[in-house]
Chain A
Protein backbone atom coordinates (compact mmCIF):
# COMPACT_ATOMS: atom_id res chain seq x y z
CA UNK A 1 0.00 0.00 0.00
CA UNK A 2 1.10 3.50 -0.87
CA UNK A 3 0.01 5.96 1.76
CA UNK A 4 0.21 9.72 1.98
CA UNK A 5 0.08 11.09 5.51
CA UNK A 6 -0.73 14.69 6.53
CA UNK A 7 1.01 16.08 3.45
CA UNK A 8 1.30 19.85 3.13
CA UNK A 9 2.73 21.46 -0.01
CA UNK A 10 3.06 25.17 -0.67
CA UNK A 11 4.44 27.26 -3.51
CA UNK A 12 5.81 30.57 -2.21
CA UNK A 13 3.75 30.49 0.97
CA UNK A 14 0.54 29.74 -0.94
CA UNK A 15 -0.59 26.36 0.33
CA UNK A 16 -1.80 24.07 -2.46
CA UNK A 17 -2.36 21.00 -0.31
CA UNK A 18 -2.92 21.16 3.42
CA UNK A 19 -2.75 18.12 5.66
CA UNK A 20 -3.73 15.65 2.94
CA UNK A 21 -4.17 11.97 3.71
CA UNK A 22 -4.94 9.34 1.08
CA UNK A 23 -3.84 5.86 0.16
CA UNK A 24 -3.50 3.78 -2.98
CA UNK A 25 -3.87 0.01 -3.08
CA UNK A 26 -1.75 -2.45 -5.04
CA UNK A 27 -3.57 -4.37 -7.77
CA UNK A 28 -5.85 -1.41 -8.43
CA UNK A 29 -6.08 1.28 -11.07
CA UNK A 30 -6.77 4.47 -9.16
CA UNK A 31 -8.00 7.58 -10.94
CA UNK A 32 -7.48 11.09 -9.59
CA UNK A 33 -10.08 13.60 -10.77
CA UNK A 34 -10.75 17.22 -9.96
CA UNK A 35 -11.00 20.61 -11.61
CA UNK A 36 -7.95 22.59 -12.80
CA UNK A 37 -5.95 23.81 -9.85
CA UNK A 38 -7.36 21.13 -7.56
CA UNK A 39 -3.85 20.02 -6.66
CA UNK A 40 -3.77 16.74 -8.63
CA UNK A 41 -0.38 17.32 -10.24
CA UNK A 42 1.01 18.77 -7.03
CA UNK A 43 -0.01 15.64 -5.15
CA UNK A 44 1.78 13.29 -7.52
CA UNK A 45 4.80 15.58 -7.82
CA UNK A 46 5.12 15.59 -4.05
CA UNK A 47 4.78 11.82 -4.03
CA UNK A 48 7.53 11.55 -6.65
CA UNK A 49 9.79 13.97 -4.76
CA UNK A 50 9.70 16.51 -7.61
CA UNK A 51 8.33 19.20 -5.31
CA UNK A 52 9.29 19.45 -1.68
CA UNK A 53 6.63 18.86 0.93
CA UNK A 54 6.41 21.28 3.84
CA UNK A 55 5.23 18.51 6.04
CA UNK A 56 4.01 14.93 6.00
CA UNK A 57 5.22 11.68 4.54
CA UNK A 58 4.69 9.34 1.61
CA UNK A 59 5.22 5.69 2.49
CA UNK A 60 5.27 2.62 0.28
CA UNK A 61 4.99 -0.59 2.29
CA UNK A 62 6.03 1.44 5.34
CA UNK A 63 9.21 2.68 3.69
CA UNK A 64 9.71 6.31 2.67
CA UNK A 65 9.35 6.88 -1.09
CA UNK A 66 12.92 8.14 -1.31
CA UNK A 67 14.15 4.67 -0.39
CA UNK A 68 12.07 2.97 -3.08
CA UNK A 69 12.44 5.59 -5.81
CA UNK A 70 13.57 3.03 -8.38
CA UNK A 71 10.25 1.23 -7.87
CA UNK A 72 8.35 4.17 -9.33
CA UNK A 73 7.69 4.88 -13.00
CA UNK A 74 6.30 8.24 -14.06
CA UNK A 75 4.62 8.93 -17.39
CA UNK A 76 4.57 12.71 -17.54
CA UNK A 77 2.66 15.03 -19.82
CA UNK A 78 4.29 15.19 -23.22
CA UNK A 79 3.97 18.92 -23.74
CA UNK A 80 7.18 19.76 -21.88
CA UNK A 81 9.42 17.70 -24.15
CA UNK A 82 11.60 18.87 -27.02
CA UNK A 83 10.32 16.76 -29.92
CA UNK A 84 13.24 17.80 -32.13
CA UNK A 85 15.75 16.21 -29.76
CA UNK A 86 18.11 13.90 -31.67
CA UNK A 87 16.76 10.66 -30.26
CA UNK A 88 14.75 7.83 -31.78
CA UNK A 89 11.86 5.83 -30.36
CA UNK A 90 14.00 2.87 -29.32
CA UNK A 91 16.48 5.02 -27.40
CA UNK A 92 13.66 6.75 -25.51
CA UNK A 93 12.36 3.38 -24.32
CA UNK A 94 15.92 2.34 -23.45
CA UNK A 95 16.21 5.27 -21.03
CA UNK A 96 13.70 3.32 -18.92
CA UNK A 97 16.56 1.02 -17.92
CA UNK A 98 18.82 3.87 -16.73
CA UNK A 99 17.49 4.04 -13.16
CA UNK A 100 18.27 0.45 -12.33
CA UNK A 101 21.61 0.47 -14.18
CA UNK A 102 22.97 3.30 -12.06
CA UNK A 103 26.09 5.28 -12.94
CA UNK A 104 28.89 4.02 -15.18
CA UNK A 105 26.94 1.09 -16.60
CA UNK A 106 25.60 1.12 -20.12
CA UNK A 107 22.48 -0.74 -21.22
CA UNK A 108 23.45 -4.22 -22.41
CA UNK A 109 21.82 -6.88 -24.53
CA UNK A 110 19.14 -7.67 -21.96
CA UNK A 111 18.10 -4.03 -21.63
CA UNK A 112 17.89 -3.70 -25.40
CA UNK A 113 15.81 -6.85 -25.77
CA UNK A 114 13.45 -5.64 -23.04
CA UNK A 115 13.07 -2.28 -24.79
CA UNK A 116 12.26 -3.89 -28.13
CA UNK A 117 9.76 -6.23 -26.43
CA UNK A 118 8.07 -3.29 -24.70
CA UNK A 119 7.78 -1.50 -28.03
CA UNK A 120 6.14 -4.60 -29.56
CA UNK A 121 3.74 -4.64 -26.61
CA UNK A 122 2.47 -1.17 -27.47
CA UNK A 123 2.40 -2.13 -31.19
CA UNK A 124 5.24 0.19 -32.17
CA UNK A 125 7.91 -2.39 -32.97
CA UNK A 126 8.32 -1.08 -36.51
CA UNK A 127 8.78 2.48 -35.31
CA UNK A 128 11.94 1.78 -33.29
CA UNK A 129 14.21 3.87 -35.52
CA UNK A 130 11.91 6.82 -36.09
CA UNK A 131 12.86 10.16 -34.65
CA UNK A 132 10.29 10.94 -31.94
CA UNK A 133 9.02 14.11 -33.66
CA UNK A 134 7.69 11.95 -36.49
CA UNK A 135 5.12 10.20 -34.31
CA UNK A 136 1.53 11.17 -33.64
CA UNK A 137 0.52 12.22 -30.12
CA UNK A 138 -0.98 8.82 -29.40
CA UNK A 139 2.05 6.93 -30.67
CA UNK A 140 4.35 9.11 -28.61
CA UNK A 141 2.28 8.48 -25.49
CA UNK A 142 2.58 4.74 -26.14
CA UNK A 143 6.37 5.14 -26.38
CA UNK A 144 6.40 6.60 -22.86
CA UNK A 145 4.17 3.80 -21.63
CA UNK A 146 6.69 1.36 -23.17
CA UNK A 147 9.42 3.12 -21.19
CA UNK A 148 7.39 2.59 -18.02
CA UNK A 149 7.07 -1.12 -18.91
CA UNK A 150 10.87 -1.37 -19.18
CA UNK A 151 11.29 0.24 -15.76
CA UNK A 152 9.59 -2.80 -14.20
CA UNK A 153 8.34 -0.57 -11.41
CA UNK A 154 5.86 -1.53 -8.70
CA UNK A 155 4.17 1.87 -8.81
CA UNK A 156 3.25 3.58 -12.08
CA UNK A 157 1.98 7.16 -12.08
CA UNK A 158 0.52 8.67 -15.26
CA UNK A 159 -0.33 12.36 -15.63
CA UNK A 160 -3.28 12.83 -18.00
CA UNK A 161 -2.17 10.05 -20.35
CA UNK A 162 -5.22 10.29 -22.62
CA UNK A 163 -5.10 13.99 -23.43
CA UNK A 164 -4.97 14.64 -27.18
CA UNK A 165 -4.52 11.05 -28.32
CA UNK A 166 -6.45 8.75 -30.63
CA UNK A 167 -8.89 6.14 -29.39
CA UNK A 168 -6.71 3.26 -30.58
CA UNK A 169 -3.79 4.46 -28.45
CA UNK A 170 -6.10 5.05 -25.49
CA UNK A 171 -7.37 1.47 -25.72
CA UNK A 172 -3.83 0.12 -26.05
CA UNK A 173 -2.64 2.06 -22.99
CA UNK A 174 -5.67 0.98 -20.98
CA UNK A 175 -4.89 -2.65 -21.86
CA UNK A 176 -1.33 -2.25 -20.56
CA UNK A 177 -2.63 -0.70 -17.35
CA UNK A 178 -4.91 -3.70 -16.82
CA UNK A 179 -1.94 -6.03 -17.27
CA UNK A 180 -0.05 -4.04 -14.67
CA UNK A 181 -3.02 -4.23 -12.32
CA UNK A 182 -3.29 -7.99 -12.75
CA UNK A 183 0.42 -8.24 -11.93
CA UNK A 184 -0.33 -6.55 -8.59
CA UNK A 185 1.17 -3.15 -9.35
CA UNK A 186 -0.14 0.16 -8.03
CA UNK A 187 -1.38 2.35 -10.88
CA UNK A 188 -2.30 6.00 -10.36
CA UNK A 189 -3.79 8.05 -13.19
CA UNK A 190 -4.61 11.74 -13.25
CA UNK A 191 -7.67 11.94 -15.45
CA UNK A 192 -9.85 14.70 -16.85
CA UNK A 193 -12.60 12.97 -18.86
CA UNK A 194 -15.36 12.22 -16.37
CA UNK A 195 -17.36 10.11 -18.82
CA UNK A 196 -15.07 7.10 -18.59
CA UNK A 197 -14.39 7.17 -14.87
CA UNK A 198 -16.54 4.17 -13.92
CA UNK A 199 -15.28 2.23 -16.91
CA UNK A 200 -11.56 2.81 -16.26
CA UNK A 201 -10.92 2.98 -12.54
CA UNK A 202 -11.24 0.52 -9.69
CA UNK A 203 -10.62 3.23 -7.12
CA UNK A 204 -11.08 6.95 -7.31
CA UNK A 205 -9.67 10.02 -5.59
CA UNK A 206 -11.76 13.16 -5.96
CA UNK A 207 -9.84 16.36 -5.36
CA UNK A 208 -10.50 20.06 -5.02
CA UNK A 209 -7.81 21.92 -3.05
CA UNK A 210 -7.28 18.76 -1.08
CA UNK A 211 -9.09 15.46 -0.99
CA UNK A 212 -12.87 15.52 -1.32
CA UNK A 213 -13.29 11.78 -1.05
CA UNK A 214 -11.56 8.53 -1.98
CA UNK A 215 -12.31 4.84 -2.15
CA UNK A 216 -13.85 2.31 -4.57
CA UNK A 217 -15.19 4.07 -7.68
CA UNK A 218 -18.77 2.79 -7.31
CA UNK A 219 -18.95 4.38 -3.86
CA UNK A 220 -17.02 7.58 -4.49
CA UNK A 221 -18.21 8.51 -7.98
CA UNK A 222 -21.53 10.05 -7.05
CA UNK A 223 -23.46 13.26 -7.54
CA UNK A 224 -22.53 14.67 -4.14
CA UNK A 225 -18.75 14.33 -4.63
CA UNK A 226 -18.83 15.70 -8.18
CA UNK A 227 -20.85 18.63 -6.93
CA UNK A 228 -18.34 19.30 -4.17
CA UNK A 229 -15.33 19.02 -6.49
CA UNK A 230 -16.69 20.60 -9.67
CA UNK A 231 -20.16 22.14 -9.70
CA UNK A 232 -23.80 21.33 -9.14
CA UNK A 233 -24.46 21.80 -12.85
CA UNK A 234 -21.87 19.28 -13.95
CA UNK A 235 -23.03 16.86 -11.33
CA UNK A 236 -26.63 17.18 -12.53
CA UNK A 237 -25.65 16.63 -16.15
CA UNK A 238 -23.50 13.59 -15.46
CA UNK A 239 -25.75 11.79 -13.04
CA UNK A 240 -29.12 12.64 -14.55
CA UNK A 241 -27.92 11.27 -17.87
CA UNK A 242 -26.89 8.05 -16.21
CA UNK A 243 -30.28 7.66 -14.61
CA UNK A 244 -31.96 8.20 -17.97
CA UNK A 245 -29.70 5.62 -19.56
CA UNK A 246 -30.54 3.12 -16.89
Chain B
Protein backbone atom coordinates (compact mmCIF):
# COMPACT_ATOMS: atom_id res chain seq x y z
CA UNK B 1 0.00 0.00 0.00
CA UNK B 2 1.34 3.38 -0.96
CA UNK B 3 1.29 6.12 1.64
CA UNK B 4 0.23 9.73 1.31
CA UNK B 5 3.79 11.05 0.59
CA UNK B 6 4.12 8.51 -2.20
CA UNK B 7 0.82 9.66 -3.69
CA UNK B 8 1.99 13.25 -3.56
CA UNK B 9 5.30 12.46 -5.19
CA UNK B 10 3.47 10.46 -7.88
CA UNK B 11 1.30 13.52 -8.43
CA UNK B 12 4.46 15.53 -9.07
CA UNK B 13 5.80 12.97 -11.52
CA UNK B 14 2.82 11.81 -13.55
CA UNK B 15 0.96 14.23 -15.71
CA UNK B 16 -1.99 11.84 -16.14
CA UNK B 17 -2.50 11.88 -12.37
CA UNK B 18 -2.43 15.67 -12.28
CA UNK B 19 -5.00 15.84 -15.06
CA UNK B 20 -7.15 13.27 -13.29
CA UNK B 21 -7.03 15.17 -10.01
CA UNK B 22 -7.79 18.53 -11.62
CA UNK B 23 -10.76 17.13 -13.56
CA UNK B 24 -12.12 15.22 -10.59
CA UNK B 25 -11.97 18.31 -8.36
CA UNK B 26 -13.70 20.47 -10.97
CA UNK B 27 -16.42 17.85 -11.40
CA UNK B 28 -16.78 17.55 -7.62
CA UNK B 29 -17.32 21.31 -7.33
CA UNK B 30 -19.81 21.68 -10.19
CA UNK B 31 -21.89 18.66 -9.26
CA UNK B 32 -21.95 19.78 -5.63
CA UNK B 33 -23.34 23.18 -6.63
CA UNK B 34 -25.92 21.97 -9.17
CA UNK B 35 -26.80 18.99 -6.98
CA UNK B 36 -27.76 21.32 -4.12
CA UNK B 37 -30.56 22.78 -6.23
CA UNK B 38 -31.55 19.35 -7.49
CA UNK B 39 -32.13 17.97 -4.00
CA UNK B 40 -33.81 21.13 -2.69
CA UNK B 41 -36.27 21.03 -5.58
CA UNK B 42 -37.05 17.40 -4.82
CA UNK B 43 -35.65 16.40 -8.21
CA UNK B 44 -33.20 13.65 -7.28
CA UNK B 45 -35.00 11.23 -9.56
CA UNK B 46 -34.91 13.78 -12.37
CA UNK B 47 -31.15 14.14 -11.86
CA UNK B 48 -30.77 10.40 -12.19
CA UNK B 49 -32.98 10.36 -15.27
CA UNK B 50 -31.17 13.13 -17.13
CA UNK B 51 -27.79 11.61 -16.36
CA UNK B 52 -28.90 8.37 -18.02
CA UNK B 53 -30.82 10.02 -20.84
CA UNK B 54 -27.70 11.67 -22.29
CA UNK B 55 -26.34 8.29 -23.41
CA UNK B 56 -27.83 8.37 -26.95
CA UNK B 57 -26.42 11.89 -27.31
CA UNK B 58 -22.96 10.62 -26.46
CA UNK B 59 -23.34 7.86 -29.05
CA UNK B 60 -24.57 10.19 -31.76
CA UNK B 61 -21.71 12.58 -31.03
CA UNK B 62 -19.21 9.71 -31.55
CA UNK B 63 -20.89 8.73 -34.79
CA UNK B 64 -20.95 12.23 -36.24
CA UNK B 65 -17.61 13.25 -34.77
CA UNK B 66 -19.11 16.29 -33.04
CA UNK B 67 -18.51 17.54 -29.50
CA UNK B 68 -19.92 15.17 -26.89
CA UNK B 69 -21.29 18.09 -24.85
CA UNK B 70 -23.41 19.19 -27.80
CA UNK B 71 -24.87 15.76 -28.52
CA UNK B 72 -25.56 15.10 -24.85
CA UNK B 73 -27.17 18.51 -24.32
CA UNK B 74 -29.65 17.91 -27.11
CA UNK B 75 -30.75 14.56 -25.67
CA UNK B 76 -30.69 15.78 -22.06
CA UNK B 77 -33.04 18.65 -22.83
CA UNK B 78 -35.15 16.47 -25.10
CA UNK B 79 -35.63 14.02 -22.22
CA UNK B 80 -36.50 16.84 -19.77
CA UNK B 81 -39.07 18.27 -22.18
CA UNK B 82 -40.55 14.86 -22.94
CA UNK B 83 -40.84 14.01 -19.24
CA UNK B 84 -42.66 17.28 -18.61
CA UNK B 85 -44.86 16.83 -21.68
CA UNK B 86 -46.00 13.32 -20.77
CA UNK B 87 -46.68 14.33 -17.15
CA UNK B 88 -48.73 17.42 -18.05
CA UNK B 89 -50.64 15.88 -20.95
CA UNK B 90 -51.82 12.72 -19.22
CA UNK B 91 -52.94 11.58 -15.82
CA UNK B 92 -49.54 9.95 -15.27
CA UNK B 93 -47.50 11.34 -12.37
CA UNK B 94 -44.08 12.86 -12.95
CA UNK B 95 -42.07 10.05 -11.35
CA UNK B 96 -43.73 7.51 -13.61
CA UNK B 97 -43.16 9.70 -16.63
CA UNK B 98 -39.48 9.96 -15.64
CA UNK B 99 -39.23 6.18 -15.42
CA UNK B 100 -40.73 5.62 -18.86
CA UNK B 101 -38.75 8.29 -20.69
CA UNK B 102 -35.30 7.81 -19.19
CA UNK B 103 -35.26 4.03 -19.54
CA UNK B 104 -36.24 4.40 -23.20
CA UNK B 105 -33.45 6.91 -23.78
CA UNK B 106 -30.97 4.73 -21.92
CA UNK B 107 -31.92 1.68 -23.97
CA UNK B 108 -31.59 3.63 -27.20
CA UNK B 109 -28.20 4.84 -26.01
CA UNK B 110 -26.93 1.29 -25.47
CA UNK B 111 -27.94 0.26 -28.97
CA UNK B 112 -26.40 3.33 -30.58
CA UNK B 113 -23.16 2.96 -28.59
CA UNK B 114 -22.77 -0.67 -29.59
CA UNK B 115 -23.25 0.37 -33.21
CA UNK B 116 -20.81 3.24 -32.94
CA UNK B 117 -17.92 2.05 -30.84
CA UNK B 118 -16.21 -0.88 -29.23
CA UNK B 119 -17.23 -2.45 -25.94
CA UNK B 120 -14.34 -0.91 -23.99
CA UNK B 121 -15.70 2.52 -24.76
CA UNK B 122 -19.07 1.58 -23.37
CA UNK B 123 -17.34 0.39 -20.23
CA UNK B 124 -15.65 3.77 -19.85
CA UNK B 125 -18.90 5.62 -20.35
CA UNK B 126 -20.64 3.54 -17.74
CA UNK B 127 -17.91 3.57 -15.10
CA UNK B 128 -15.71 6.51 -15.99
CA UNK B 129 -12.07 6.61 -17.00
CA UNK B 130 -10.54 9.41 -15.05
CA UNK B 131 -6.94 8.31 -15.67
CA UNK B 132 -7.28 8.85 -19.42
CA UNK B 133 -8.31 12.51 -19.32
CA UNK B 134 -7.03 14.50 -22.30
CA UNK B 135 -6.15 18.20 -22.36
CA UNK B 136 -9.30 18.80 -24.39
CA UNK B 137 -11.35 17.09 -21.69
CA UNK B 138 -9.82 19.35 -19.06
CA UNK B 139 -10.64 22.38 -21.17
CA UNK B 140 -14.28 21.41 -21.66
CA UNK B 141 -14.65 20.54 -17.98
CA UNK B 142 -13.25 23.96 -17.07
CA UNK B 143 -15.73 25.62 -19.44
CA UNK B 144 -18.65 23.73 -17.92
CA UNK B 145 -17.47 24.71 -14.44
CA UNK B 146 -17.44 28.33 -15.61
CA UNK B 147 -20.96 28.01 -17.03
CA UNK B 148 -22.22 26.51 -13.76
CA UNK B 149 -20.68 29.27 -11.66
CA UNK B 150 -22.01 32.01 -13.96
CA UNK B 151 -25.48 30.47 -14.10
CA UNK B 152 -25.74 30.15 -10.34
CA UNK B 153 -24.35 33.61 -9.60
CA UNK B 154 -26.53 35.37 -12.20
CA UNK B 155 -29.71 33.52 -11.26
CA UNK B 156 -29.04 32.92 -7.58
CA UNK B 157 -32.13 34.65 -6.27
CA UNK B 158 -34.34 33.13 -8.96
CA UNK B 159 -32.99 29.65 -8.22
CA UNK B 160 -33.53 30.26 -4.52
CA UNK B 161 -37.14 31.40 -4.81
CA UNK B 162 -38.21 28.79 -7.36
CA UNK B 163 -36.67 26.06 -5.21
CA UNK B 164 -38.29 27.34 -2.03
CA UNK B 165 -41.63 28.74 -3.18
CA UNK B 166 -42.36 28.36 -6.87
CA UNK B 167 -45.98 29.52 -6.59
CA UNK B 168 -44.88 32.84 -5.17
CA UNK B 169 -42.30 33.24 -7.95
CA UNK B 170 -45.05 32.75 -10.53
CA UNK B 171 -47.28 35.37 -8.92
CA UNK B 172 -44.69 38.07 -9.42
CA UNK B 173 -44.24 37.08 -13.03
CA UNK B 174 -41.04 35.02 -13.00
CA UNK B 175 -40.77 32.64 -15.94
CA UNK B 176 -40.29 29.56 -13.81
CA UNK B 177 -40.45 27.15 -16.75
CA UNK B 178 -37.57 28.88 -18.53
CA UNK B 179 -35.49 28.67 -15.36
CA UNK B 180 -36.39 24.99 -14.96
CA UNK B 181 -35.16 24.14 -18.45
CA UNK B 182 -32.09 26.32 -17.93
CA UNK B 183 -31.25 24.26 -14.87
CA UNK B 184 -31.90 21.04 -16.83
CA UNK B 185 -29.45 22.21 -19.50
CA UNK B 186 -26.79 22.97 -16.88
CA UNK B 187 -27.50 19.60 -15.27
CA UNK B 188 -26.92 17.92 -18.63
CA UNK B 189 -23.58 19.68 -19.09
CA UNK B 190 -22.49 18.65 -15.59
CA UNK B 191 -23.57 15.08 -16.27
CA UNK B 192 -21.43 14.86 -19.38
CA UNK B 193 -18.42 16.25 -17.51
CA UNK B 194 -18.96 13.82 -14.65
CA UNK B 195 -19.24 10.97 -17.16
CA UNK B 196 -15.49 10.97 -17.55
CA UNK B 197 -14.86 10.96 -13.81
CA UNK B 198 -17.35 8.57 -12.29
CA UNK B 199 -19.30 7.21 -15.26
CA UNK B 200 -22.92 7.52 -16.19
CA UNK B 201 -24.20 5.12 -13.54
CA UNK B 202 -22.64 6.98 -10.62
CA UNK B 203 -23.17 10.56 -11.79
CA UNK B 204 -26.29 10.79 -9.68
CA UNK B 205 -24.23 10.02 -6.59
CA UNK B 206 -21.96 13.01 -7.25
CA UNK B 207 -25.02 15.21 -7.69
CA UNK B 208 -26.90 14.08 -4.62
CA UNK B 209 -24.54 12.79 -1.95
CA UNK B 210 -22.33 15.88 -1.39
CA UNK B 211 -25.40 18.14 -1.52
CA UNK B 212 -27.29 15.96 0.94
CA UNK B 213 -24.26 15.96 3.23
CA UNK B 214 -23.99 19.77 3.11
CA UNK B 215 -27.72 20.06 3.80
CA UNK B 216 -27.22 18.32 7.14
CA UNK B 217 -24.76 20.96 8.32
CA UNK B 218 -26.27 24.34 7.48
CA UNK B 219 -29.41 26.46 7.46
CA UNK B 220 -28.23 28.87 4.76
CA UNK B 221 -28.43 28.18 1.05
CA UNK B 222 -25.24 30.10 0.24
CA UNK B 223 -23.28 28.13 2.83
CA UNK B 224 -24.78 24.91 1.56
CA UNK B 225 -23.56 25.60 -1.98
CA UNK B 226 -19.96 26.22 -0.88
CA UNK B 227 -20.00 23.31 1.54
CA UNK B 228 -21.43 20.97 -1.07
CA UNK B 229 -18.80 22.06 -3.61
CA UNK B 230 -16.10 21.52 -0.98
CA UNK B 231 -17.40 18.07 -0.06
CA UNK B 232 -17.53 17.17 -3.75
CA UNK B 233 -13.90 18.26 -4.16
CA UNK B 234 -12.72 16.43 -1.02
CA UNK B 235 -14.51 13.27 -2.16
CA UNK B 236 -12.78 13.56 -5.52
CA UNK B 237 -9.30 14.00 -4.02
CA UNK B 238 -9.62 11.27 -1.39
CA UNK B 239 -11.32 8.93 -3.84
CA UNK B 240 -8.53 9.38 -6.32
CA UNK B 241 -5.97 8.73 -3.59
CA UNK B 242 -7.57 5.39 -2.72
CA UNK B 243 -8.01 4.60 -6.36
CA UNK B 244 -4.30 5.14 -6.98
CA UNK B 245 -2.95 3.45 -3.86
CA UNK B 246 -5.31 0.47 -3.61
CA UNK B 247 -5.93 0.12 -7.33
CA UNK B 248 -9.68 0.66 -6.96
CA UNK B 249 -11.75 1.85 -9.89
CA UNK B 250 -11.67 5.64 -9.62
CA UNK B 251 -15.40 6.39 -10.03
CA UNK B 252 -16.62 4.03 -7.34
CA UNK B 253 -13.77 5.13 -5.04
CA UNK B 254 -14.86 8.79 -5.32
CA UNK B 255 -18.51 7.94 -4.77
CA UNK B 256 -17.67 5.76 -1.79
CA UNK B 257 -15.71 8.63 -0.20
CA UNK B 258 -18.71 10.90 -0.66
CA UNK B 259 -20.88 8.27 1.00
CA UNK B 260 -18.46 8.00 3.95
CA UNK B 261 -18.64 11.77 4.45
CA UNK B 262 -22.42 11.54 4.33
CA UNK B 263 -22.49 8.72 6.87
CA UNK B 264 -20.25 10.72 9.21
CA UNK B 265 -22.52 13.77 8.85
CA UNK B 266 -25.65 11.72 9.28
CA UNK B 267 -24.39 10.67 12.68
CA UNK B 268 -22.64 13.84 13.83
CA UNK B 269 -24.14 16.89 12.10
CA UNK B 270 -25.43 19.40 14.66
CA UNK B 271 -28.46 20.48 12.63
CA UNK B 272 -30.32 17.27 12.01
CA UNK B 273 -27.87 14.43 12.53
CA UNK B 274 -28.88 11.09 13.98
CA UNK B 275 -27.30 11.80 17.41
CA UNK B 276 -29.08 15.13 17.75
CA UNK B 277 -32.31 13.48 16.74
CA UNK B 278 -31.88 10.73 19.33
CA UNK B 279 -31.07 13.23 22.07
CA UNK B 280 -34.19 15.19 21.15
CA UNK B 281 -36.20 11.98 21.25
CA UNK B 282 -34.96 11.13 24.73
CA UNK B 283 -35.63 14.52 26.24
CA UNK B 284 -39.10 14.68 24.77
Let me know if A49 and B170 touch, CB within 8 A: yes
Let me know if A69 and B172 touch, CB within 8 A: yes
Q: How far is the CB of B268 from chain A (nearest CB, A)?
A: 18
- Expressed in whole angstroms, the Cα–Cα distance for A97 and B17 within the complex equals 48
Contact with A along B150-173 (1 / 0, CB 8 A): 000011111011011101111111
Instruction: Point out the residues of chain B lying under 8 angstroms from A238, CB to CB.
Output: none
**B94 in contact (CB, < 8 A):** no
Instruction: Point out the residues of chain A lying under 8 angstroms from B256, CB to CB.
Output: none
Q: How far is the CB of B254 from chain A (nearest CB, A)?
A: 25
Let me know if A95 and B219 touch, CB within 8 A: no
Let me know if B220 and A88 touch, CB within 8 A: yes
Instruction: Point out the residues of chain B lying under 8 angstroms from A91, CB to CB.
Output: 160, 220-221
Let me know if B168 and A131 touch, CB within 8 A: no
**B224 in contact (CB, < 8 A):** yes
Known: A81-B165, A95-B161, A104-B154. A74 touches B171 (CB 8 A): yes
Let me know if A87 and B164 touch, CB within 8 A: yes
Q: How far is the CB of B72 from chain A (nearest CB, A)?
A: 27
Known: A85-B40, A86-B221. A50 touches B164 (CB 8 A): no
Instruction: Point out the residues of chain B lying under 8 angstroms from A87, CB to CB.
Output: 160, 164, 219-221
Instruction: Point out the residues of chain A lying under 8 angstroms from B165, CB to CB.
Output: 76, 81, 95
**A72 in contact (CB, < 8 A):** yes
Instruction: Point out the residues of chain B lying under 8 angstroms from A101, CB to CB.
Output: 157
- Expressed in whole angstroms, the Cα–Cα distance for A85 and B158 within the complex equals 15
Q: How far is the CB of A142 from chain B (nearest CB, A)?
A: 16
Contact with B along A56-97 (1 / 0, CB 8 A): 000000000010011011101000111011111001100100
**B105 in contact (CB, < 8 A):** no
**Interface band, chain B:** 20 to 34
Interface of A is mostly: mixed
Known: A85-B163, A98-B157, A99-B173. A76 touches B219 (CB 8 A): no
- Expressed in whole angstroms, the Cα–Cα distance for A142 and B165 within the complex equals 16
Known: A98-B161, A106-B157. A72 touches B224 (CB 8 A): no
Instruction: Point out the residues of chain B lying under 8 angstroms from A88, CB to CB.
Output: 219-220
- Expressed in whole angstroms, the Cα–Cα distance for A107 and B272 within the complex equals 30
- Expressed in whole angstroms, the Cα–Cα distance for A69 and B169 within the complex equals 11
Let me know if A80 and B167 touch, CB within 8 A: yes
**A103 in contact (CB, < 8 A):** yes
Q: Which residue of A lies closest to B171 (CB)?
A: A74
**B215 in contact (CB, < 8 A):** yes
**B218 in contact (CB, < 8 A):** yes
Q: How far is the CB of A100 from chain B (nearest CB, A)?
A: 8
Let me know if A86 and B173 touch, CB within 8 A: no
Instruction: Point out the residues of chain A lying under 8 angstroms from B164, CB to CB.
Output: 81-82, 85, 87, 92, 95
Q: Which residue of B lies closest to A104 (CB)?
A: B154
| B218: contacting residue among A48, A81, A86, CB under 8 A | A86
- Expressed in whole angstroms, the Cα–Cα distance for A104 and B155 within the complex equals 7
| B171: contacting residue among A72, A82, A84, A106, CB under 8 A | A72
Known: A104-B154, A106-B157. A99 touches B219 (CB 8 A): no
Given contacts A72-B172, A99-B173, 9 further A-B contacts (CB under 8 A): A50-B167, A69-B172, A81-B164, A82-B42, A86-B223, A95-B164, A98-B169, A101-B157, A106-B157
Write the residues of chain A forming the contact surface with B, with a CB cutoff of 8 angstroms.
Answer: 48-50, 66, 69-70, 72-74, 76, 80-82, 84-88, 91-92, 95, 98-99, 101, 103-104, 106-107, 131, 151
Q: Which 5 A-B pairs have the closest CB atoms?
A: A99-B172, A131-B219, A69-B173, A74-B171, A86-B221
A sample of 17 inter-chain contacts (CB < 8 A) reads A48-B170, A50-B170, A50-B171, A72-B171, A74-B167, A76-B165, A80-B167, A81-B165, A85-B40, A85-B163, A86-B221, A87-B219, A95-B165, A95-B168, A98-B158, A98-B174, A103-B155
